């Protein structure tokens, strides 16, 4: 099925974008569990290598099952957006083995020794460690600042000509801070910088960064896009098709961070229900945040849907809804937090997020264990902070479980 018929809703796009005329009239995309693809003749092999003929060569370079997932994600990120000429925005995506692999291709294909990244301070633990440890070792530096302060962002950019790329994660893990993508992107573009966004927490259902002239978006598809916690995965999406098909593709192939067909299949199935899942995650999220916010044992709730959250206005500006991610602190601090976590009976004690079930984690001892305590505190990741990914259970059961564990 092609996309000649204009689809007006995001679920239709999620369900139909990657559909092709699969072999044997298979309704669902086949799982192409193969490392390599055959050539009819030596000449055909040569033409494929030379890029003169379309066709798959070797799964590290691409695979038909990946293509279905890639085209679906590209269509979701581009949904209803236009390019500079007013035509439907065209994006290119590469499916990776993990979010970490997608960010590796993104940073390595755009940066080299001597370049500097400017990033917001509340970041996914793996991103924080990657840019400091791995990229640091290759001669790429990082400046971390509070990018919610636009004057600070502009000053740093003006005073550091080595900055080549501005990386934004919003909402940010685990503080749920929101960075104004439009405002930061405008400043960065005035200085000719590359802008990258980690859209994992929001998904294209809640937020479409390409609306604000950013260059690349990446996701850990492990989270809401897959939605069921069945596979690790990541995707890099870009709008400069020359760069994506050129250098980004080359680096994708050379770094070897490709996905596998089975995980791609799981992701494809998960994404079909993205909209309905997100609607439920979101409606549960508001109710849970409100419950925690009113509970006498809770000292503070970080949820951008609360008017008390400092980034409430930014969230309203760029997100369809504040979502299902939140973090909070109990009045009793770390000890009370541990007791609470241990008493939960339905909510699941696990890292990761965006699955159908409610997941609860403790960033200081889990996802951000690799970040020094001093830095964690500076970023707002206190010892007692608890992160909640609100699932799709019936909300009364989530509230009952939280309530009995808080008692
Ligand atoms: C999980 C996550 C990543 C890393 O993705 P993996 O799939 O675990 O490699 C990056 N950014 C954010 C915001 C995440 O939640």
pLDDT in tens, the chain (407 residues): 445 678 899 999 999 998 788 999 999 999 999 999 999 999 999 999 998 999 999 999 999 999 999 999 999 999 999 999 999 999 999 999 999 999 999 999 999 999 999 999 888 989 999 999 999 999 999 999 999 999 999 999 999 999 999 999 999 988 899 999 999 999 999 999 999 999 999 999 999 999 999 999 999 999 999 999 999 999 999 999 999 999 999 999 999 999 999 999 999 999 999 999 999 999 999 999 999 999 999 999 999 999 999 999 999 999 999 999 999 999 988 899 999 999 999 999 999 999 999 999 988 887 777 778 888 888 778 888 999 999 999 999 999 999 999 99
Integer angstrom CA distances of residue 316 from 34, 60, 289, 327: 45, 40, 16, 19
User: How far is it, in rounded angstroms, from Cα 187 to Cα 213?
Assistant: 11
pTM, whole model, 2 decimals?
0.96
**Sheet of strand 348-349: strand arrangement:** 298-302, 325-330, 386-389, 359-361, 348-349
Is residue 65 within 8 A of residue 28, CB to CB? The reply is no
Per-residue burial over 135-158, b if 16 or more Cβ lie within 10 Å, else e, is beeeebbbebeebbeeeebbebbe
Q: Which residues line ligand 1 (CB under 6 A)?
A: 98-100, 124, 126-127, 169, 173, 198, 200-201, 220, 222-223, 232, 234
Angle between helices 395-406 and 333-343 (to 10 degrees): 130
Beta bridge partners of 349: 360
Q: Which residue has the tokens 């925690």?
A: 292
Candidates 107, 124, 221: which one to mutate for ligand 1, based on the most atoms within 8 Å of Cβ? 124
Is residue 160 within 8 A of residue 129, CB to CB? The reply is no
3 state DSSP class of 294: helix
Give CATH 3.40.640.10 domain extents, the chain: 10-271
Which residue has its alpha carbon closest to ligand 1 atom 4?
Answer: 99
Fold of 275-406: 3.90.1150
CA of 331 to the centre of ligand 1 (A): 29
The CATH number of 10-271 is 3.40.640.10
CA of 50 to the centre of ligand 1 (A): 34
Which residue has its alpha carbon closest to ligand 1 atom 1?
Answer: 220
Give CATH 3.90.1150.10 domain extents, the chain: 275-406
User: How far is it, in rounded angstroms, from Cα 63 to Cα 49?
Assistant: 15
Other CB atoms within 10 A of residue 307 CB: 8
């Amino acid at each position: 099925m092609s996309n000649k018929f204009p689809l007006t809703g995001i679920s239709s796009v999620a369900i139909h974008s990657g559909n092709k005329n699969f072999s044997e009239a298979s309704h669902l995309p086949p799982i192409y569990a193969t490392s390599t693809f055959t050539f009819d003749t030596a000449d055909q092999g040569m033409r494929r290598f030379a890029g003169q003929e379309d066709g798959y060569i070797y799964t590290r370079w691409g695979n038909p099952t990946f293509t279905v997932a890639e085209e679906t994600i590209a269509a979701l990120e581009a949904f209803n957006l236009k390019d500079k000429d007013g035509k439907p925005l065209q994006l290119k995506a590469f499916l990776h083995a993990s979010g970490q692999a997608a960010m590796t291709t993104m940073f390595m294909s755009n940066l080299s020794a001597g370049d500097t990244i400017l990033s917001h301070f509340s970041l996914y633990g793996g991103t924080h460690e990657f840019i400091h440890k791995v990229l640091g070792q290759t001669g790429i530096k990082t400046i971390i600042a509070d990018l919610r302060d636009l004057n600070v962002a502009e000053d740093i950019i003006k005073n550091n000509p080595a900055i080549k790329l501005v990386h934004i994660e919003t909402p940010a893990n685990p503080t749920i801070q929101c960075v104004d993508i439009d405002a930061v992107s405008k400043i960065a573009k005035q200085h000719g910088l590359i802008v990258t966004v980690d859209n994992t927490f929001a998904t294209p259902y809640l937020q479409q960064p390409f609306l604000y002239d950013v260059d690349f978006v990446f996701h850990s598809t492990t989270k809401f896009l897959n939605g069921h916690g069945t596979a690790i995965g990541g995707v890099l999406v870009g709008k400069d098709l020359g760069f994506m098909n050129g250098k980004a593709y080359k680096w994708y192939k050379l770094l070897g961070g490709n996905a596998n067909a089975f995980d791609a299949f799981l992701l494809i199935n998960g994404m079909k229900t993205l909209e309905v899942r997100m609607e439920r995650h979101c409606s549960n999220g508001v109710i849970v945040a409100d419950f925690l916010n009113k509970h006498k044992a809770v000292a503070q709730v970080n949820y951008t849907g609360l008017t008390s959250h400092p980034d409430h206005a930014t969230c309203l500006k760029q997100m369809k809804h504040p979502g299902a991610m939140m973090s909070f602190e109990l009045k009793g601090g770390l000890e009370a937090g541990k007791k609470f976590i241990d008493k939960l009976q339905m909510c699941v004690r696990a890292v990761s997020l965006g699955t159908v079930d409610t997941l609860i984690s403790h960033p200081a001892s889990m996802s951000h264990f690799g970040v020094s305590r001093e830095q964690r505190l500076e970023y707002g990741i206190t010892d007692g902070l608890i992160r909640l990914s609100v699932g799709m259970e019936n909300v009364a059961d989530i509230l009952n479980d939280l309530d009995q564990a808080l008692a």
